[in-house]
Amino acid sequence: MKLNKILPFMLLLFFSMGFAQQGKKNSKKLNTKKVQVIDSIRVSKIAEELPSTVLATSIKDSTIYDLKDMAIARKKDSLWLKELYKSDLFEDVYSSVANQNYEAVDYDELPTEVLKQRLKELDARTPFKVEYNPSLESVIKQYLKNRRGTLERLMGLSEYYFPMFEQELDKNNLPLELKYLAVIESALNPRAQSRVGATGLWQFMFTTGKMFGLDVSSYVDERSDPIMATEAACKYLKSLNNSFNDWDLALAAYNSGPGNVSKAIRRSGGKTNYWNLRDYLPRETAGYVPAFLATMYIFEYAEEHGFKKHGTRIPFVATDTIRVKQQITLDQVAKLTNLDKEELEFLNPSYKLGVIPVIKDENYVLRLPLTSVGAFVNNENAIYAFAQEEQQEAEKPLPELIEQPEKIRYRVKRGDYLGRIAERYGVGVSQIRSWNGMRSNTVKVGQNLIIYPKKTSQDIASNTVSQGNSSEKTYTVRNGDSLWSISQKFPGVSVQNIKKWNDISGTNLKPGTKLKIYKG
């Protein structure tokens, strides 16, 4: 066997061993065990004994230690990942802004006098005009009464994004409270797309994005890049505040454009207070600043209102980027690092087709958790060799970039999810979303999807027959079970198999859960 064929195989084997999170539940104290280094890849010899691992490398002696996670931390990890992968909050937040009403709301937990005092305190520490009025009270109480679940999920996501936002806002001498603008703009979804085509965390239109340095190509949409989009939003917001010299009006202009705010000022007879201009602004913009102020209030007083913030599994500061030297796909990275594809898509949302291209004068990067960066860099040549070989064996033309008569229309069946459909046809989840203009991974039974399959009908039929000939078994989860320990009970079954067959995104299992297992 040629060396270039051996390396990818060994790489896959070692990565799978080194990064696997597997084993039986253990509540004993944290302990460490030194492990051996094999062929520049640090491989854990005790991973199978542990529920999960946190990798900490020592450069001086090239050793690695495995630290046992507490069970509660692992549970939080699983919950956090589920929240990250969901992208269904955008429509809810958009609707709440566009269709806001200002009727009085009964909410005894927040007396008006308490609210007035807190708004006064908030006004003292921010350049925004945070003044009490019945309309703002109505919005705050509606959110607290009817949208607690949504707000708690947004608070969880904010733990990842806010440190990044604050860094850029501080660099540009802008109010840190502007971070709350991204909450009402996109529900903190970097791939959010409005009905008129605004995209990303900060909802840039194509033309406005170009004005502030955000390029869009067949492969990459920089409006969905969290850092680049935040830098552009800072420039745009600064220019709007310089124009209007008022943050409330700058926010209104960010939503509907400076032209609409200027028209509202003229139509009102020269009024420049946002609350006096609201009747002259578009309906969505009229609800925009109240939504921003209400969100700011609730986040700032989250503890007082009983919200529980879930810590991030992957804080932004615990990630790093690697400049890509050869074209590679997120599918290939997922295989080689044993990271979930959804996790990679979350960390790298600007790659529309799940492909990181290499283009002259462009520096595209791959963002990974710090625990995966070292192993990737140490084995870069082998990784690229594997990617290149896989690409050479695949069909040359990409169906998105050429006229493709073989497209099919797939009708979603009960039990389907995008990952399963994508795997069946040999394509990526992000590709299906792109072909069908989808803003989230959610599919409904009976929904029609356009797909350009990479697998032939013979491949699909063969796979279907293979699964049809396999025997299905139901396994009931017991106390102490993990995905890895269950997979060991069935020869030839992997953790990924079980996750795909049962539509599981995390690793948390409840005793009594029924799992489908296919043998054969």
Taking the C-alpha atoms of residue 294 and residue 412, their distance in angstroms, rounded to an integer, is 39
Nearest to 193 by CA among 206, 180, 178, 211: 206
What does the pLDDT read at residue 259? Answer: 92
Give the dihedral of Cα atoms 379, 383, 386, 391; nearest 10 deg: -160
Tally of CB atoms within 10 A around 27: 8
Per-residue pLDDT of the chain (520 residues; tens, 9 = 90+): 444 444 444 444 444 444 433 333 333 332 323 222 222 233 232 233 323 333 333 222 222 222 233 334 434 454 555 555 556 677 667 666 766 777 888 888 999 999 999 999 999 999 998 999 999 999 999 999 988 888 988 898 898 899 999 999 999 999 999 999 999 999 999 998 888 889 999 999 999 999 999 999 989 999 999 999 999 999 999 999 999 999 999 999 998 899 999 999 999 999 998 888 888 998 888 888 999 999 999 999 999 999 987 656 677 888 899 999 999 999 899 888 888 888 899 899 999 989 999 988 888 999 999 888 888 898 888 889 888 888 776 655 554 444 454 778 898 988 788 878 887 888 888 888 888 888 777 888 889 998 888 755 555 555 544 454 456 788 888 877 888 778 778 877 777 788 878 877 666 788 888 888 876 5
pLDDT reported for residue 458: 53
DSSP state of 221: B
Question: How many helices (H) and strands (E) would you count in the chain?
Answer: 23, 12
20/41 Cα distance (integer angstroms): 14
What is the model's pLDDT at position 301?
A: 95
Would you state the pLDDT for residue 220? 94
Amino acid identity of residue 462, one-letter, is S
Q: What angle do CA 172, 177, 180 make, to 5 degrees?
A: 110
**Through-space distance between the first and last CA atoms of the chain, rounded to whole angstroms:** 28
pLDDT value of position 498: 84
Q: Annotated catalytic sites, by residue?
A: 185
| Inter-residue contact 316 to 163 (CB < 8 Å) | yes
Look at the domain 85-300 and name its fold.
Lysozyme (1.10.530)
Distance in angstroms (rounded) separating the CA atoms of residues 345 and 339:
10
E strands, 59-176, are 63-68
What is the rounded CA–CA span in Å between residue 336 and residue 366? Answer: 13
Cβ neighbours of 282 (radius 10 Å): 15
Q: Which CATH superfamily is domain 470-520 in?
A: LysM domain (3.10.350.10)
Residue 2: burial class (beta carbons within 10 Å; 0-12, 13-18, 19+): exposed
C-alpha to C-alpha distance for 265 and 255, rounded to whole angstroms: 16
Would you state the pLDDT for residue 8? Answer: 45
Dihedral sign, Cα of residue 32, residue 34, residue 38, residue 39: positive
Quickly tell me which residue has 């700032």 as its tokens.
Answer: 300
Per-domain boundaries in the chain: 3-69+314-393, 85-300, 398-455, 470-520
Let me know if the fold of 398-455 is the same as that of 470-520. Answer: yes
Identity at 457, one-letter amino acid code:
S
The token pair at 437 is 């203009």
Architecture of domain 398-455: Roll (3.10)
DSSP state of 342: H
